[in-house]
Structure 1
Amino acid sequence: MVVVAVAGGTGGLGKTVVEQLRLHGSHHKCYVLGRKAPQHPTFDLAPFLEVDYGEVESLTKILEDHDIDTIISTINLETNAGSEAQLNLIAAASSSRVTRRIIPSEFVSVIDEDNSNSGPGIGGWIANARALKKSQLEYTRISIGFFSDYWGLPHIKTNLRPFHWFLDIDKGVAAIPGTGDEKFTVTYSKDLALIIVKLLDIGERWPERLCLSGSDISLNELVAHAEKIRGSKMSVVYDPVEKLDRGDVTLLWHPEDVSEDQFKPLFVGLCQLILAGDCLLPKDSDWLAAKFPDLQLTTAEEILDRAWKGRESAI
């Protein structure tokens, strides 16, 4: 049995990890760490520990008082507050007499801590990777590319917030940067959560880096599969590199809490990463394949099939 704490475990990926722990890791003791207790009275997946991420000393005490052996962080590192929270969590885990390992929140493309231009260009991934490297903690940094869940919303099982990018199957439209032939990696959040749970039972030291790939896919391939499901062609707009270089891009959607003007440069940056090949993960899953030979990750095509096959809205 491992005593594990999931930081940010009341929603999004964190909730998915806790759900998979209940389904496949019930022999472990699980706590959820967070700034505020969940408002919803039905949240009963695991005992909740209210923490102050700004206080390393109090964080350390909570880890020691509850014999936390392993931390799984799903804190959003895109914000300064989230980055500082995980940095303090790493510091607290390093100071704790009982905590020995951590899976940090680094579920994006491969981050090179020695290259300040590595990764999405925003957020605190590099600072956190450097802090981990300096610590004495055992850790594994998991890269997944992007989450494929978003193309299955609202019909796929996921706890992730909506993020509608590149194609809208329901409306039959797609906006594609570049040629559409550039490949990138996507992974289903449930698969990532299950791998994390399985890692808790590994007796040997974790590798410092792991890459998961549900699919290495291009947008043209994705659109072709969506058209097969729909039984009709989609309306596709291609944004050339020159348009992206001007800071412009075709948006099918933007988050309600972010204006179009704020979202557009962030989305342009994401498109440019894909076109540069930075979001296609290396093939280094031999370790995982050896440990879990029966593991089958969900492909992007399977996400589309589960979500959209047989639905009138997709015709």
Structure 2
Amino acid sequence: MAIVAVAGGTGNIGRAIVEALVATGKHKVKILARKPNAEVEARVGVPVIVVDYDNVPGLTKILEDNKIDTVISTITMIPMDGSSPKEIQLIQAADASKTTKRLISSDWAAPAPSDNVGSLPSVINRLAAEKELAKVSNLETTHIVNGYFLDFFTSPVVKSYLQQRTFFIDIPNNVAAIPGSGDVSVVFTHSADIAKFTAAILDLEKWDPVSYVIGDRVTLNEFLRYAEAAKGVKFDVTYDSVETLKTGVVTELPSYLPMYPFFPKPAMLGFLATFGQWFEAGVFDIKPERTLNHQFPHIKTGKVKDLLEQAWKTT
């Protein structure tokens, strides 16, 4: 039995991981959070420990006092309040803790190409965390690469703690702006499946430096056809060429507008232009030699076609 602390475990991918850990019945689970959350404690049956990530010695003491041997970080790499993520401080505290021996650092995405490092804060923050991980002396570490969250297109009908964010293919409004050709494969994985694999790797004696999870692999054009079939309508579709994306321009979709108060329009469209280039370049077409799917064949993943039908099928 592991004594596990999930940093950021009150919401998003963290909440899914907490529930998956509890479901195994194998581990003692605690949540690290910046503020109390009695509702999560009551619903999940897991204590929420309030921490100050900026106080590394204090955080180290909390890990030791609670005998935490494994830390799973789900700290966001793009804090919406404009602050810097606290991943580095968490890594430092876990490495200093006498009881903590393992850490899954926050990633939950795809490897970012180095030529666009300066354009996205999430990439800069992730690379800073990787540099810090290279310094650890007392920890076995891994981070999980899972492609793109399928949840963004299927919540809230398909249970998820991630909010719906239908980039490129705007399913609610029956429109799409496909980056590039749309013929490059993309790995899509649902958070519930990621959480099951995350819980499972705690049973492994040794971790790989990077752990890969593959939910499903489809092109954006295939994804579009599945969405159209689920809704029973043809979408209004445009294609943004790579040349256009390189100028920082993308076709604006109706689903983007509600996000502008939290993600200002110029920054968001620039982000999507970069992201679109990554899709077309195959960054999200993850093809590792070794995956957690192969190590845990009993864990079956949700497929794009099936989950889109569940979320959007007309009756």
User: TM-score scaled by structure 2?
Assistant: 0.90
- 1:15-48 Cα deviation digits (max 9, x unpaired): 1111112222x23111100111126477442101
Instruction: Indicate if the aligned counterparts of 2:153 and 2:164 stay in contact, CA closer than 8 A.
Output: no
Instruction: Indicate if the aligned counterparts of 1:120 and 1:273 stay in contact, CA closer than 8 A.
Output: no
- 1:123-160 Cα deviation digits (max 9, x unpaired): 21011112112212101111111101111133111000
2:162 matched residue in structure 1: 160
Q: Are positions 1:110 and 2:111 aligned together?
A: yes
Whole-angstrom distance in 2 between the partners of 1:69 and 1:58:
17
- The 3-state SS of whatever aligns with 2:99 is coil
1:57 matched residue in structure 2: 57
Pairing of 1:108-257 with structure 2 (within 5 A) = 108-111=109-112, 115=114, 117=116, 121-123=120-122, 124-136=125-137, 137-202=139-204, 204-252=205-253, 253-254=255-256, 255=259, 256-257=261-262
Higher helix share: 2
Aligned counterpart in structure 2 of residue 300 of structure 1, from 300, 304, 307: 304
2:4 matched residue in structure 1: 4
- 1:51-102 Cα deviation digits (max 9, x unpaired): 010011000000000000000100001247453x111111111111100001
Q: Are positions 1:264 and 2:263 aligned together?
A: no
Instruction: Indicate if the aligned counterparts of 1:7 and 1:73 stay in contact, CA closer than 8 A.
Output: yes
Whole-angstrom distance in 1 between the partners of 2:89 and 2:288:
32
Whole-angstrom distance in 1 between the partners of 2:94 and 2:181:
46
Distance change >3 Å, CA 120–CA 291, structure 1 → 2: farther
Structure 2 residue runs of 5 or longer lacking an equivalent are none
Cα distance, 1:259 vs. partner? 2.6
Cα distance, 1:258 vs. partner? 2.1
Whole-angstrom distance in 2 between the partners of 1:262 and 1:305:
32
> Amino acid of the residue matched to residue 303 of structure 2?
T
1:282 matched residue in structure 2: 287
Instruction: Indicate if the aligned counterparts of 1:148 and 1:188 stay in contact, CA closer than 8 A.
Output: yes
Whole-angstrom distance in 2 between the partners of 1:175 and 1:195:
32
Whole-angstrom distance in 2 between the partners of 1:192 and 1:134:
27
> Amino acid of the residue matched to residue 297 of structure 1?
T
Instruction: Indicate if the aligned counterparts of 2:155 and 2:163 stay in contact, CA closer than 8 A.
Output: no
Instruction: Indicate if the aligned counterparts of 1:69 and 1:98 stay in contact, CA closer than 8 A.
Output: yes
Cα distance, 1:214 vs. partner? 1.0
Alignment RMSD: 2.1
Instruction: Indicate if the aligned counterparts of 2:244 and 2:250 stay in contact, CA closer than 8 A.
Output: yes
Instruction: Indicate if the aligned counterparts of 2:120 and 2:271 stay in contact, CA closer than 8 A.
Output: no
Distance change >3 Å, CA 7–CA 160, structure 1 → 2: same
| Deviation larger for 243-252 or 13-22 | 243-252
How many matched pairs?
Answer: 305
| Deviation larger for 186-195 or 299-308 | 299-308
Whole-angstrom distance in 1 between the partners of 2:11 and 2:22:
15
